[in-house]
Amino acid sequence: MREYIADKLNDSREYRNISLKHCFGNPDLDYRVTRNVFAQKKFGFAEENDSLNYLVVAHAAKIGSENLISMNKAAKQQNIPIMHVLYKGRNSHFFRWDKAIFKPSRMAYSEEDKKAMVNTNKMERYLSLFTGNKVVYFSQYHLLLQVIKFKDVVSDYSESNKVPEKLREELKEYENLQAKIAEVVMETSRFTLKRATKYSIVDYRMPAKLVDLDLDRICSLLSQEEKALKDDHELAAELGERIVMMWDGMESKVNKAIASKMIGTKSQ
């Protein structure tokens, strides 16, 4: 998982000095030092007033919420945006199937919803608070990142005679906290890191599909190139080179064809 993330950041051509198991010399940032993936963003790719240093923590196991909070605070204090990625695969601590789908309290749900139910842990629920209810997983089976959002499961024992009435509310509260319906909102094997949320204790990042961003960037550069052609031919030439470089780096044949047509039209 760590190597995968490092390779994909390198493939984006936006980062340099990518290192695994990066040690910051800070006990909070180094709490899971073997899971750290550090990268520096190249000049010209960082967002305005943004940091050039980034940290992705590839979690293969749970950590305590206090450690997670301390890690986020330490990253924020050092002006390092952070993203947490959770391992999703066989024997994983995360994204575990909810065996309670067979309980009487789930009778109102469709089979499709039941198949999507997972039993979340405290770490997953904590991370969802800082990302607008979106958690990033590395899928071992598909070899890509998945962004998943959760919907609460509402337990209903009103039709059940198997659970004593005095226990229904207690069980309902517990199940509503743990059980969630998972929905994949994004999958990508080619990504960069984009600001998601910025709270007092964390500057959080999420993966952004490069194939979605390439055309936006090319359109912006084409617009700049068109203006520069009137006054600064050297800048226009530099922008043209960047456009072609981005086009060459595209994996999507559809986007490449569109970008090629755009560049050809502008160069006429």
**Whether residue 161 is found in the same domain as residue 256:** no
**77-94 b/e (C-beta count within 10 Å ≥ 16 → b):** eeebbbbbbbbbeeebbb
pTM for the whole structure: 0.74
Tokens read off for 152? 């609460």
Instruction: Give the Cα-Cα-Cα angle 8, 9, 11 (nearest 5 degrees).
Output: 60
| Cα-Cα-Cα-Cα dihedral sign, residues 189, 193, 196, 200 | positive
Domain extent at residue 230: 212-267
**Whether residue 174 is found in the same domain as residue 219:** no
**Whether residue 110 is found in the same domain as residue 181:** yes
Q: Are 49 and 30 in contact, with CB atoms under 8 Å apart?
A: no
Q: For tokens 């984009």, what's the residue?
A: 194
**Whether residue 74 is found in the same domain as residue 106:** yes
How many domains does one find in the chain? 2
Q: How far apart are CA 29 and CA 49, in angstroms?
A: 23
Out of 189, 211, 233, pick the residue that ends a domain: 211
| Cα-Cα-Cα-Cα dihedral sign, residues 200, 185, 15, 213 | negative
**Whether residue 77 is found in the same domain as residue 170:** yes
Q: 196-221 pLDDT, tens per residue?
A: 877 778 889 999 887 655 555 666 66
Out of 164, 179, 211, pick the residue that ends a domain: 211
**Whether residue 239 is found in the same domain as residue 229:** yes
**Whether residue 130 is found in the same domain as residue 229:** no
**Whether residue 130 is found in the same domain as residue 199:** yes
**Whether residue 257 is found in the same domain as residue 153:** no
Q: For tokens 């899928």, what's the residue?
A: 139
Predicted confidence band at 89 (pLDDT cuts at 50, 70, 90)? confident
**Whether residue 15 is found in the same domain as residue 76:** yes
Question: What was the pLDDT predicted at 266?
Answer: 45
**Whether residue 25 is found in the same domain as residue 117:** yes
Closest CA to 57 of 89, 87, 85, 90: 85
Question: What was the pLDDT predicted at 219?
Answer: 62
Residue range 172-183: mean pLDDT, rounded:
77
Predicted confidence band at 37 (pLDDT cuts at 50, 70, 90)? very high
